[in-house]
A and B are shown apart, each in its own frame.
Chain A
Amino acid sequence: MQISQSGPNELTISDNIKSIEDSSAIKEKTNALIKEGATSIMLRIQDSFSMTSTVIGFLMKLVNVNKIRVSLVVGDERLYQLLDELSLIQAFNVRQM
């Protein structure tokens, strides 16, 4: 998985989110944006069909505790369905590419 900053509050992720290292990288990059003062975060997940529960838990914490507006733009229908199955579409403002 690769993750890079693609805007002031935006991170772009390519390849599948699948490993412990992927989860850590997403948390690290997102926390860095928040430290710089971001109050909203957009994750552009280009082609991953999966997401780890660690990342989901981390994003839930951002939304509910840190009051950060999290938005996900997902490119793979399967990831959208997974998030829908977990009732997270609204919480993470998920949109399809």
Chain B
Amino acid sequence: MPINIRQSVSFLTSQEATASSEPPVNPDAEMKSLTLLVAEDDLPSCNMLLMRIGGLFKNVIAAADGTEAFRLFSLHTPDIVLTDQVMPGLTGLELMEKIRQTGAKTPVILMTCADSQVLLEAINRGVERFIPKPFNSELLLRTLNGVARMVAKERMLEQHREQEVELLRYRDAYNSMQQESARRKERHVVRHDLRNQALKGRGVRWAINVAYAPHDIMCGDGYSVRRLFDGRQLIFVVDAMGSGMSASLTAMLTTSFFNYQVENLHLWETFTLRIFLRRFQEYLSSILLEDEVLSCGFFLVDLVREEIKTALFALPPLLLRSVDGSVCKVRGENPPLGTYPTEIKVGTLSLTGVADLMIMTDGVSDALLTQGGSYREVLENDFRAAPTLKALQRSFQAKTVPGSLDDLTWLHLRRLDFPHSWSWKGTPDLTLAGLGATIREFLAALALEVSLDCEELDGVEIILTEALTNALEHGCLQIDQEKKAMLVLSGEYDDALAEMALEPGAEITLSATLQRDAERPLLIMEVQDSGPGLAENALKTRVETTAVNGRGLKMISHYCDSLFTDGPNGRLIILKTLEGENTCRFPKAALTN
């Protein structure tokens, strides 16, 4: 019959134990922080044990049999288990087995007679220590002390591990925060005053696209595209030596200084590129280390005079394409800039008859090809085929090893008006059906001119669907974002579009040209409406996930290569490289309608 000692001495606290008549012991401090579970079915032995060790632990829990011991273990998760082997319910080894099944690694000390079979089994099952019965008090204390030390040590290690993980988490969060701040600052320093804007030249329009892909958050490349007080453009592209923080600091400092100079140009008595460069060189000598150099390029663009003054310092050769499709490389005039004064050569490039100009940092030309070698080996050919920056980037991505090892900066100056071989113009009726009809007419005409696969044609259609709907809503009906949201939410949008009065003089024109200066044809579509034009920040505005409108321009951007606005009325200029080689599957019915 089991002895119910749990009720009387299930917990013996240190105070209770100290009050016992047994002589005092000198336990290790570790024991004072631990809980011990004692499983012993023999009441006198159990009481004896509790007298000897009760005060040494923070808590002692006693059980009168194996089953009770396991229940108390599950309830209190003690730090050490001291168990008799022979007990009703569960034996000591069976108790340990059940404890291990819960995943707990709690050390188990087995009290047993010197039965070699039991000892062998206990060793095999991983019993921590043995106490021979009848037990010797000193051996018992020594054993408990040893195991308590081990538990305390393990606990300390675990605590250290947790602290280290916590520290790593903190450092990670801190670093992420720092990196995010750095990225924000970097984005603030690099500038593009002319993003998505068509620029007026001598009878033709131009546009500047930039692709900036830092390898690390802190990037060794930098750029700035600025509109000058006199209408010209000044462009800076920098690739600082080395990598990491040092290169990034140089790139950001020089880009910042460039911007600072540009913003104060109106205070200069005379502005020339040479003076600008001399001041830049003076500044550079104060921030570069003696063994550092800087690859960079300065481009003073005068679209009215159709020329660019260049100062190139060890940038990869520029690629320049004429409207007849011929491509030439323009090599730099100067070695990289260092801390020492050097004579700077400034060159002049004529833009007359030029279709586009590509400027890159060496991350592009040095990128590894998947087939071996570097991208510079195929760059010129790819440029020959690709009329836009996005098309060239697609070729780059298809041919190079993924995950570039360097920062990539591309800057593309493109002419938008050409002596073209094919053009189309239409003025739709200002209804949704009218817009749809004009789009179909245009697609039919385009399909007769160039071989396209159905997907490409659909891509063009979705761009025009978005652009023409946008022109009707915002340009001709003057429905602003807020009003459109209201109409969509109330379910009145379609009716409103059909019923609303058009603004006086409302008109939409869709025109398009096909440029063949590159090997792949470039479709330039222009949608003009009589409205006031897009707000300056329309292409930058972030659309809330739950918004019911405002995604039209984003959709156009998604499906086209690049997108520019040109005032004063609403005018969207949309560029799309036509890649398809297959015969058009445009429905015959649509061609004849």
Contact = CB atoms under 8 A, between A and B. Distances in A.
A65 B489 contact: yes
Interface string A57-97: 11011001100000000000000001001111001000000
Interface residues of B, number: 30
Contacts of B494: 24, 27
A82 B556 CA distance: 12
Q: Is the interface of A mostly helix, strand, loop or mixed?
A: helix
A87 to B, nearest CB: 4
A40 interface: no
B436 A58 contact: no
Contacts of B459: 50
B441 to A, nearest CB: 13
Contact of A52 (B465, B491, B548): B465
B551 A57 contact: yes
A24 to B, nearest CB: 7
Given A24-B432, A52-B555, A57-B551, A19 B546 contact: no
A52 B559 contact: no
B466 A53 contact: yes
Interface in B509-552: 543, 545-549, 551-552
A54 interface: yes
B469 interface: yes
A18 interface: yes
Contact of B436 (A20, A27, A82): A20
B476 interface: no
Given A19-B461, A19-B465, A64 B546 contact: yes
For the side of the interface on A, what is the size category?
A: 20 to 34
Contacts of B559: 50
A60 B543 CA distance: 13
A53 B555 contact: yes
Interface in B306-350: none
A19 B469 CA distance: 10
B469 A20 contact: yes
Given A18-B462, A21-B436, A88-B545, A57 B488 contact: yes
Interface of B: 432-433, 435-436, 439, 455, 458-459, 461-462, 465-466, 468-469, 488-489, 491, 494, 543, 545-549, 551-552, 554-555, 558-559
Closest 4 CB pairs of A and B: A53-B551, A57-B548, A16-B458, A20-B436
Interface of A: 16-21, 23-24, 27, 49-50, 52-54, 56-58, 60-61, 64-65, 82, 85-88, 91
Given A20-B468, A53-B555, 8 more contacts: A16-B455, A16-B458, A19-B462, A49-B455, A50-B459, A52-B466, A52-B555, A61-B489
